[in-house]
Structure 1
Amino acid sequence: MAALAIRNKQSKIVTISAKLIFYGTQATKELAQKIVAEIRDMYHEPKASVNLDKEVYNVHMRIDYEVVSFNEVIELAFKNTNFRYNFIRLEAQNHVTRSFMGFGLGDNVGHWITTDNLGESTTAAHEFGHALGLDHPNLIDFRGLGNPGIMAPRGTIVDAHLQWNPAVAVGEYGGTLKPFHRRVQAYEIEAIFEGLVFDNNGYAEIGHLSNLLFTENGDVLNVIF
């Protein structure tokens, strides 16, 4: 997901600003609001701060959204150059049976499915992290470390009370992380800013723009203009 980081030297606040443009058969205002609330609330939860040029800035998330028709999204995506714009198709299911972002970390397109309980689990916040350039961690065993970060993948090993089924042995069916227990960690937010270069106006671009769209099933949509 592309975004803009906006640094305010007076207030010492740096804002990650993104707009999610939803389309697809399941794209409704109600679902869009739930998704945006999940992302915003989870990323504000750690009350993170980052060090920019030896000064501490509090991190704020600004997530806007719009629900558009298929014809409208084609027009918006065509030659889009705005790093805030991210095009997310919402459907009941797709051919990989999971929500995903597009092509490489930081891409501004995705295909999310409602069977992932968008807005009520942690899937939207997890995919948002991929779009901000965050990968799955190398660590897959979080036993004794509390709640894993938002980027922990399916299959992560955790303490029993964080499993799908606390009664089963580690690694067995139900013996891995229940995604609901993921939490955005301050170190994950700090990682978003690694390598960012701010211009003289205080802006830094996050991610990249493929502007590709998807079919209902999750295949790349071939559009001839």
Structure 2
Amino acid sequence: MAAEIHYRASTQRIEVLAHLFFYGQQATTQIGAAIETEINRLFNEPQVSFPVRGQQATVHFTVTQECVDFHQVQQLARHNTDYKNNFIRIEAQNLLTRSFMGFGLGDNAGHWITSDELGFSTTATHEFGHGLGLDHPAHPDFRGSGSPPPIMAARGSLVDAPYQWNPLAQAGAYGGTMKPIYRRVTAEEVRLILEGLTFANTDTYLLGHLSNRLFDPVGRVIPI
């Protein structure tokens, strides 16, 4: 996702702002609302503080969304220069058989599928993390941590038994990998998003990049 980051000195708060435009045959108000609720809940759950100008500022994510038709999203994407705006197609399935963001970490375009249980499985929040520049962890083995896996853990990661599809399965065997619903945003992941931002000479940063690409129903790029 592209996003805007603002430091509010009066409240000692860092605000991460993003707006999601959903389009496609499965882009409904119900799915949109569920995604919005999940992303805001999980990203604000760690209650992270971040050093700014010698003081600790609280970090708060505000993600909003709306569903638009294809004509509307074409017009919006064609002329978009706003880093808060992201364009996500929602369909029942696509060629990759998984939800994805479009053109590298930090892109503002994606294609998500309803079979990923958007808004209820952490998949939407995981993809949102990719849009904010977060990659999968280099070592996908979280056994022994005693904690839920991080939000950017990839499917197939090894986790403590309570976080597996089947807690009784052998690690790595069928049922013995991470069940995505157990992922949680960690404080470290939030700080990685803000890494390198000093706020020394500005109160505002623009995060990500604007490809403004759109997709057809199965996930192929289409002209706007």
Letter in 2 for 1:59: V
Structure 2 residue matching 1:82: 3-state secondary structure: coil
Q: Distance in 1 between matches of 2:138 and 2:107?
A: 21
Is 1:52 aligned with 2:52? yes
1:118 matched to 2:118? The reply is: yes
Provide the rounded CA distance (Å) in 2 between the counterparts of 1:217 and 1:165: 31
Q: CA deviation at 1:198?
A: 4.5
Alpha-carbon distance in structure 2 between the residues aligned to 1:150 and 1:120: 13
Give, in whole Å, the separation in 2 of the partners of 1:54 and 1:97: 47
- State the shift of 1:166 in Å: 1.1
* Match in the other structure for 2:42: 42
Cα offset, 1:55, TM superposition:
2.1
| Structure 1: distance between partners of 2:106 and 2:196 | 13
Q: CA deviation at 1:12?
A: 0.5
Q: Is the 8 A contact 2:15 2:60 kept in 1?
A: yes
1:195: Cα distance to partner?
A: 2.4
Q: CA deviation at 1:49?
A: 1.2
Query: 1:1-225 counterparts in 2 under 5 A?
Result: 1-145=1-145, 146-196=147-197, 198=199, 202-223=203-224
Kept after mapping to 1: 8 A contact 2:52/2:198? no
CA distance in 2 between partners of 1:199 and 1:107 (Å): 26
Q: Is the 8 A contact 2:99 2:127 kept in 1?
A: yes
Q: Output the TM-score relative to the length of structure 2.
A: 0.96
Give the distance between the partners of 2:216 and 2:13, measured in 1 at CA: 39
Q: 1:60-111 CA distances to partner (integer Å, 9 max, x unpaired)?
A: 1111111100000000000310000000000000000000001010000000
User: How many correspondences in the alignment?
Assistant: 223
> 1:38 aligns to what SS in structure 2?
helix
Q: CA RMSD in A?
A: 1.2
In structure 2, distance between residues paired with 1:197 and 1:217: 41
Counterpart amino acid of residue 195 in structure 1: G
Read off the aligned partner of 2:10 and give its amino acid letter: Q
Runs (5+) with no aligned partner, structure 2: none
**TM-score normalized by the length of structure 1:** 0.96
Does the CA contact (< 8 Å) of 2:77 and 2:212 recur in 1? yes
Which secondary structure does the structure 1 equivalent of 2:22 belong to? strand
Q: Percent identity?
A: 51
Unaligned runs of 5+ in 1: none
Q: CA separation in 2, counterparts of 1:112 and 1:220?
A: 14
Question: How far apart, CA to CA, are the structure 2 residues paired with 1:84 and 1:115?
Answer: 27
Q: Is the 8 A contact 2:52 2:199 kept in 1?
A: no
- Greater shift, 200-209 or 185-194, is seen at 200-209
**4+ long deviations beyond 6 Å:** none
Q: Measure how far apart 1:139 and its partner are.
A: 2.1
Cα contact 2:53–2:199 (8 A) shared by 1: no
The offset of 1:199, in angstroms, is 8.2
Deviation track 1:10-37 (CA, whole Å, cap 9, x = no partner) reads 1100000000000000011111000000
| Cα distance change, pair 113–150 in 1 and its aligned pair in 2 (3 A) | same
**Partner secondary structure for residue 14 of structure 1:** strand
Matched AA of 2:88: I
1:197 offset after TM fit, Å?
A: 5.9
Q: Whole-Å Cα distance in 1 between the matches of residues 217 and 112 of structure 2? A: 10
Deviation at 1:54, TM superposition (A): 3.0
1:29-61 CA-to-partner distances (Å, cap 9, x unmatched) read 111000000000001111111122332110111
